[in-house]
């Protein structure tokens, strides 16, 4: 029996791009025949945090990569399987010497999978070489020099996709593998309200942002409607790795040098830093997926109301900005940061529900779901870190301030669109006579508020402010600050 050909495999995960992909570059530098692989893993297909919109975005991204690979007579082998079964099948045809991937800051299921896969590689005499992902470090015990290391990483030369001739396994070879493996169908709906995946599309968004959309970035960042245009909208492309943060950072930094809009570009770059900061925090405290990072808040008990949670999930709370934000998120996969924070604050403070019960619903809706952002932000907005300022968002105040003409609310809560603007923000203030004049009936055409916001806001504020004084909360707050605080936080807020 002929000896099997030796190959390397690049296991693509949340790094769905060819350019500035260190895992690919490191594999190609070895010079061996190389296979690019993506696995739709059962553990993620069945995980409550994911939904069809995520998998469609991934499929669009893979189609984009395959189009770029066409001149190289190859494509990504794309399968539906558990990861070990996929590699077992490949090994029936080839001897895998090394597997290259990025280190993943993911869910608990992927953390456990990686521990099992480490054993698998050891048992099969395979080297598994993981690259740093977007400057996030493995195995840190504190943040000493973290900012400097991250910034140095961001300023390194970009990796260029340069395979040797015929180094990547050919179409014909991959077709042979596809004949014995459960390949994934990469077709997706052609017409959807979601942003399309892929590096090509991601750079269209990036270029339009850097060319002109950034000019109103800071002005509109908190406005639910205007932010849809003036914010970068790059988050899904960064989350799924269609572009690296380093690519975006260097593009923005170059533009800022000669720009008249330095303040807007600088603010955008600072948010790239914060993005990495939160993912690093999650990397160092993976238990945040299920429990508050500050153990003092584990004693905080809230009564579960399924009725409240359903109303919130369906955008039927009787608070127009809350409902508009939720309906918009469900329909398009995106709302701006302030509206996301308000949705979490309303759920955890006003409805007094545990943040864990909001997690899966929101992650399923966020097209840009990123575990390292998702869980730290949930806890921060819920007021359960002990180190962040407590913010309890008032949706009515935010509506008047950031959607004064109710443009956003009218669009997403059309049953209110014919009311005067003052009533759109607070329809529950309408008298029976006023409802009759508008042929509008509270409780029928639009729900009454499901809670008393003033009373519930005070309850949440009193309880959470008192808990900040709890000895265990204080001890944990000190531990968190020592472990996660960057030496010079002000530098994180500024651009170069």
4: left (phi over 0), alpha (psi -120 to 50) or beta: beta
Mean pLDDT split into 10-residue runs, the chain, 496 residues: 89 98 98 98 98 98 98 98 97 97 96 97 98 93 91 97 97 95 96 97 97 95 97 98 98 88 92 93 94 96 97 98 98 98 98 98 98 96 93 96 98 97 96 97 98 97 95 95 72 42
Contact yes or no for 298/291 (Cβ under 8 A): yes
Show the tokens assigned to 413.
Answer: 């809560």
- All residues at 6 or more sequence positions from 382 whose CB lies less than 8 Å from its CB, including other chains: 292, 344, 345, 348, 349, 355
Output the pLDDT for position 1: 55
User: What span, in angstroms and rounded, lies between the C-alpha atoms of 7 and 32?
Assistant: 6
- State the alpha helices, DSSP H only, in 155-244: 171-178, 199-211, 217-220, 227-230, 235-239
Q: What is the pLDDT of residue 490?
A: 47
Structure tokens at 42: 């059962």
pLDDT at 494: 45
Count CA atoms within 13 Å of residue 446 on its CB side.
Answer: 30
Distances (CA, A) of 43 to 50, 82, 110: 10, 7, 8
Q: What dotted CATH number matches 5-133?
A: 3.40.50.620
3-state class of 314 per DSSP?
A: helix
Helix (H, G, I), strand (E, B) or coil at 259: coil
Find tokens 């209110």 and name the residue.
416
For 262-302, the DSSP string reads: HHHHHHHHHHHHHHHHHHHHHHH-GGGGTS-SSGGGGG---
- Measured in whole angstroms, the distance separating CA 332 from the mean position of its chain's CA atoms is 15
Q: Are 394 and 319 in contact (CB under 8 A)?
A: no
**H or E element at residue 34:** strand 34-41
Cβ neighbours, 10 Å, residue 226: 18
Going from the C-alpha of 182 to that of each of 3, 144, 178, the distances in angstroms are 25, 46, 7
Question: pTM here?
Answer: 0.96
Q: What is residue 418's predicted lDDT score, i.e. its pLDDT?
A: 95
Residue range 295-484 forms a domain whose CATH class is: mainly alpha
Per-residue DSSP letters for 363-392? HHH-TT--HHHHHHHHHHHHT-SSSSPP--
Q: Domain map of the chain by residue range?
A: 5-133, 200-286+487-493, 295-484
- Taking every pair of C-alpha atoms in the chain, what is the biggest distance, in angstroms? 90
Look at residue 259 in the predicted model and tell me its pLDDT: 77
CATH of domain 200-286+487-493: 1.25.40
pLDDT for residue 496 = 36
């Amino acid at each position: 029996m002929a000896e099997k050909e030796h190959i390397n495999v690049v296991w693509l995960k949340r790094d769905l791009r060819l350019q500035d992909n260190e895992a690919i570059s490191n594999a190609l530098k070895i010079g061996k025949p190389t296979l690019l692989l993506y696995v739709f893993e059962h553990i993620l297909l069945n995980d409550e945090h994911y939904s069809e919109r995520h998998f469609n975005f991934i499929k669009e991204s893979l189609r984009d990569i395959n189009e770029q690979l066409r001149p190289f007579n190859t494509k990504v082998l794309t399968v539906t399987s558990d990861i070990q079964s996929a590699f077992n099948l490949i090994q029936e045809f080839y001897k895998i010497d090394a597997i290259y991937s990025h280190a993943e800051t993911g869910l608990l299921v992927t953390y456990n999978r990686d521990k099992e896969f480490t054993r698998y590689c050891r048992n099969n005499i395979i080297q598994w070489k993981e690259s740093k992902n977007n400057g996030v470090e493995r195995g840190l015990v504190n943040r000493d020099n973290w900012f400097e290391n991250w910034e140095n990483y961001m300023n390194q030369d970009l990796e260029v996709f340069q395979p040797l001739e015929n180094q990547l396994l050919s179409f014909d070879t991959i077709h042979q593998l596809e004949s014995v493996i459960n390949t994934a169908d990469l077709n997706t709906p052609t017409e959807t309200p979601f942003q399309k995946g892929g590096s090509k599309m991601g750079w269209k968004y990036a270029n339009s942002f850097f060319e002109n959309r950034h000019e109103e970035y800071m002005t509109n960042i908190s406005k639910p409607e205007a932010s849809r245009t003036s914010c970068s909208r790059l988050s899904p492309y960064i989350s799924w790795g269609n572009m690296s943060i380093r690519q975006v950072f260097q593009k923005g930094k170059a533009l800022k040098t000669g720009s008249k809009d330095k303040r807007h570009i600088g603010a955008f770059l600072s948010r790239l830093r914060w993005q990495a900061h939160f993912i690093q925090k999650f990397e160092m405290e993976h238990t945040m997926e299920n429990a508050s990072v500050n153990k003092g808040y584990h004693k905080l008990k809230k009564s579960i109301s399924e009725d409240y949670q359903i109303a919130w999930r369906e955008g039927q709370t009787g608070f127009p900005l809350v409902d508009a934000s939720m309906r918009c998120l469900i329909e398009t996969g995106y709302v701006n940061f302030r509206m996301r924070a308000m949705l979490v604050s309303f759920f955890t403070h006003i409805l007094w529900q545990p943040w864990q019960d909001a997690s899966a619903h929101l992650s399923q809706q966020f097209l840009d779901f990123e575990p390292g952002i998702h869980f730290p932000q949930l806890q921060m907005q819920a007021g359960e870190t002990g180190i962040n300022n407590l913010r309890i968002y008032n949706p009515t105040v935010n509506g008047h301030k950031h959607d004064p003409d109710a443009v956003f609310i009218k669009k997403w809560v059309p049953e209110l669109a014919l009311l005067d603007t003052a009533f759109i923000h607070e329809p529950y203030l309408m008298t029976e006579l006023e409802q009759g004049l508008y042929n509008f009936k509270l409780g029928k055409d639009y729900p009454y508020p499901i809670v008393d916001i003033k009373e519930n806001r005070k309850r949440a504020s009193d309880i959470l402010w008192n808990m900040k004084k709890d000895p265990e909360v204080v001890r944990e707050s000190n531990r968190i600050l020592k472990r996660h605080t960057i030496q010079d936080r002000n530098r994180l807020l500024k651009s170069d």
